[in-house]
Amino acid sequence: MNTRQLLKRVTLTLAMVAVSTVSSFAGVTATPQDYSAVESLQRVFETVAEKVKPAVVNISTVSEIKFKHPPIPPEFRDFFQQFGVPFPFDNFPKEFKTRSLGSGFIVKVKDGWAYILTNNHVIDKATKIKVKLSDGSVYRAKVVGKDPKTDVALIKIKVGNKKVPTVQLGDSDSIKVGEFVIAIGNPYGLNWTVTHGIVSAKGRHGLGLNPIEDFIQTDAAINPGNSGGPLCDIHGRVIGINTAIVRNAQGLGFAVPINIAKKIMNDLLKYGKVIRGWLGVYIEDISPEIAQKFGVKHGVLVTKVMSGSPAEKGGLKSGDVIIRYNGEPVKNVTDLQLKVINTRPGEKVKITVVRDGKEKVLTVKVGQMPGSGKVALESMLDKYGFAVQPLNPELKKKLGIPKWIKGGLLVTEVKPGSPADDAGLREGDVIIKAGLTPRTLKEVKSADQLAEVLKKAGTSGVLVKVLRNGGIIYLVLNPEE
């Protein structure tokens, strides 16, 4: 008996049980076959739980929030001193720590590292990330990369030769509304909780939760702490990352489709950043009235084309209605966004538009979304615990930077206790050159260049040439282990 036949039989059995409950006074009872069908479904849920739970992890984080108090006028301080009262603002904390809990699941083990998918909001801005496995062992985690646009993050823990279980990733595009799903996570800190329900809807967007939304909606119970945990089909394959709930509502949970998460994970592992296609247009959904005026049944309206963008070079104009992308119908704004960002930059695509009542096919070479590498860059610098900004002519003049320094990066923040702090880097330093050895030292003019050097260094450390107070010093930056 295949799965669909089993589900049909269980559904029929449940209906019969309901009828028998209502008609119990008439002597109607469930048969052994009825119980057998229900027990078969129960065993499916038990099997999924036993298969997936060992690869689900508990994630706990610590974040530091700093306060910047406004300057207090001297006369205000004098007022308190007149009456011999301690100035109250002197005791105000400059920072405090927050803690949070979430979930994740192990997707890959390579070279002694276990890679874990979770939500970006679970680990965002965290200074410490700890991962607890199902066997109770605890590890310090590192951020591989994160993507706030889809709320997906990839972290890793050093497990060495230890054998740890991994999940099987499914195909979120093939799931159907009404299918049974199982959610596993740590709601309210209650570790490894299993709930089940169905796929209530697909392609949910416009919720205002993420910049890019294509959620799976489910009525499987999802609560705070479930974030980052897996949503599985009845075969134990992960088809989504549990992400959000609607406050004050029951049965409304949302998960990021695993196909979206897989692309982000693969990009982070291969390129160190998320690569997305880009057209450079402002678009909006069309109402039935506008659709009638333009003579179309579906599509999106182009309201503005960015100057110098791939769309402008390809001939797209404001007022065009995009109805097909590479031959596939365009349903709405989210549909087009997903089609474009999943296209590899540099690829040429056919875009069909309706212009002046006539269809027109344009060939557009897809570009790379500006800022695609920003997230991975921030993660790389976060690993060392510092932040930088490029030096422009105005800033150089203000800081008195010598004219012989053509590039350079101003250190704007150094986290206490971080590798950068341990190396002696300070706020106000100017990083002039970076390299793996003295011979490979090269000028750095952008944060991207510095991040690339840090990435290549691995665990060997990076040599940086620094300008401080008019003098030159050399430091070695080692990543935190």
Residue 378 CA to residue 388 CA, distance in Å, equals 10
Average pLDDT over residues 208-221: 84
Question: For residue 441, how many C-alpha atoms fall within 13 Å in the half-sphere facing its CB?
Answer: 13
Mean pLDDT of 81-96: 59
Same domain, 33 and 182: no
Residues 151, 130: Cα–Cα separation, whole Å: 19
The pLDDT value recorded for residue 199 is 93
The more confidently predicted of residues 325 and 245 is 325
Range of the domain at 285: 277-368
**Of 368, 384, 409, which residue is a domain's last?**
368
Does residue 13 register a pLDDT over 80? Answer: no
Does the pLDDT at position 22 exceed 50?
Answer: no
Least confident of 18-32, 126-140, 218-232, 400-414: 18-32
Point out the least confidently predicted range of 151-160, 356-365, 455-464: 455-464
**Could you give the CA distance from residue 409 to residue 404 in angstroms, rounded to a whole number?**
14
pLDDT tier at 271, thresholds 50, 70, 90: confident
**What per-residue confidence (pLDDT) applies to 65?**
60
For residue 129, list its beta bridge partners. Answer: 61
Alpha carbon distance 428, 421 (integer Å): 13
Whole-number percent of the chain with pLDDT over 70? 83
Our count of domains for the chain comes to: 4
Mean pLDDT on 181-194: 86
Q: Cα(29)–Cα(14) distance, rounded to whole angstroms?
A: 12
Paired residues of 140 in beta bridges: 130
What pLDDT is recorded for position 14? 53
Determine contact, residues 29/20, Cβ cutoff 8 Å. yes
Q: Which bin fits 136, alpha (ψ -120 to 50), beta or left (φ > 0)?
A: left
196: left (phi over 0), alpha (psi -120 to 50) or beta: beta
Q: CA–CA separation, 415 vs 126, rounded Å?
A: 12
Q: What is the mean pLDDT of residues 341-369?
A: 91
The verdict on 286 and 325 lying in the same domain is: yes
pLDDT for the residue numbered 246: 67
Mean pLDDT of 154-172: 94
* Neighbour tally for 148: CB within 10 Å: 16
Catalytic residue positions?
121, 151, 227
pLDDT at 4 over 60: no
- pLDDT number for residue 88: 57
Query: Which of 23-32, 126-135, 219-228, 253-262 is least confident?
Result: 23-32
**Residue 57 and residue 206 share a domain:** yes
Q: Which of 351, 368, 385 is the last residue of a domain?
A: 368
Q: How far is CA 86 from CA 83, 192, 207, in A?
A: 9, 50, 49
Looking at the structure, do residues 174 and 259 belong to the same domain, yes or no?
yes
User: Which two structure tokens, joined as six digits, stand for 15?
Assistant: 């209906």
Q: In the predicted model, what is the mean pLDDT of the chain? A: 83
pLDDT category at 24 given cuts 50, 70, 90 is very low
CA distances from 177 to 106, 180, 181, 199, 215 (A): 26, 9, 10, 5, 12
Q: How many CB atoms lie within 10 A of CB 82?
A: 7
81 pLDDT higher than 90: no
Whether 283 and 267 share a structural domain: no
What pLDDT score does 376 carry?
45
Same domain (yes/no): 238, 175: yes
- Residue 404 CB contacts under 8 Å (≥ 6 apart), including other chains: none
Q: What is the CATH number of the domain that holds 242?
A: 2.40.10.120
Dihedral of the CA atoms 172, 176, 182, 185 (nearest 10)? Answer: 40
Q: What is the mean pLDDT of residues 216-223?
A: 87
CA atoms of 295 and 357, how far apart (whole Å) = 7
Tell me: pLDDT of 213 over 90: no
Residue 440 above 70 pLDDT? yes
Structure token pair of residue 228:
């980052």
What is the C-alpha radius of gyration for the chain, rounded to an integer number of angstroms? 28
5, pLDDT greater than 50: yes
- Of 55-69, 132-146, 195-209, least confident by mean pLDDT is 55-69
Which residues are CB-neighbours of 251 under 8 A, at least 6 positions away?
197, 200, 219
Residues 146 and 292 in one domain: no
Verify that 270 and 300 share a domain, yes or no. no
Domain boundary among 314, 334, 368: 368
Q: What is residue 270's three-state secondary structure?
A: helix
Residue 23 confidence (pLDDT):
46
Contact yes or no for 457/441 (Cβ under 8 A): no
Average pLDDT over residues 332-346: 89
pLDDT at 313 exceeding the cut of 90: yes
Residue 343 predicted with pLDDT over 80: yes
Q: Which domain CATH number covers 409? A: 2.30.42.10
**Which stretch of 171-185, 229-243, 263-277 has the lowest confidence by average pLDDT?**
263-277
Say if residue 348's pLDDT is above 70. yes
Which pLDDT score is estimated for 383?
72
Q: Quick one: 263 and 294 in the same domain?
A: no
Distance, CA of 246 to chain centre: 19
pLDDT at 21 over 60: no
Q: Which residues neighbour 37 within 8 Å (Cβ) at sequence distance 6 or greater?
A: 6, 9, 10, 12, 13
Look at 26-30, 111-115, 178-182, 437-441 and tell me which has the smallest mean pLDDT. 26-30
| Co-location of 33 and 79 in the same domain | no
Residues 139 and 256 in one domain: yes
Q: What is the rounded CA–CA span in Å between residue 348 and residue 342?
A: 13
Give CA torsion, residues 189, 193, 196, 202, to 10 deg.
50
Asked whether residue 360 carries a pLDDT value surpassing 60, the answer given is yes
pTM for this model (two decimals):
0.67
What pLDDT digit, counting tens, does each position of 108-138 carry? Answer: 999 999 999 999 989 888 888 999 999 999 9
Buried b (16+ CB within 10 A) or exposed e, 452-461: bbbeebeeeb
Alpha carbon 165 to its chain's center: 23
Mean pLDDT of 429-449: 88
Both 254 and 298 in one domain: the answer is: no
375-418 tens-digit pLDDT = 445 555 667 878 888 887 777 877 788 888 878 888 887 877 77
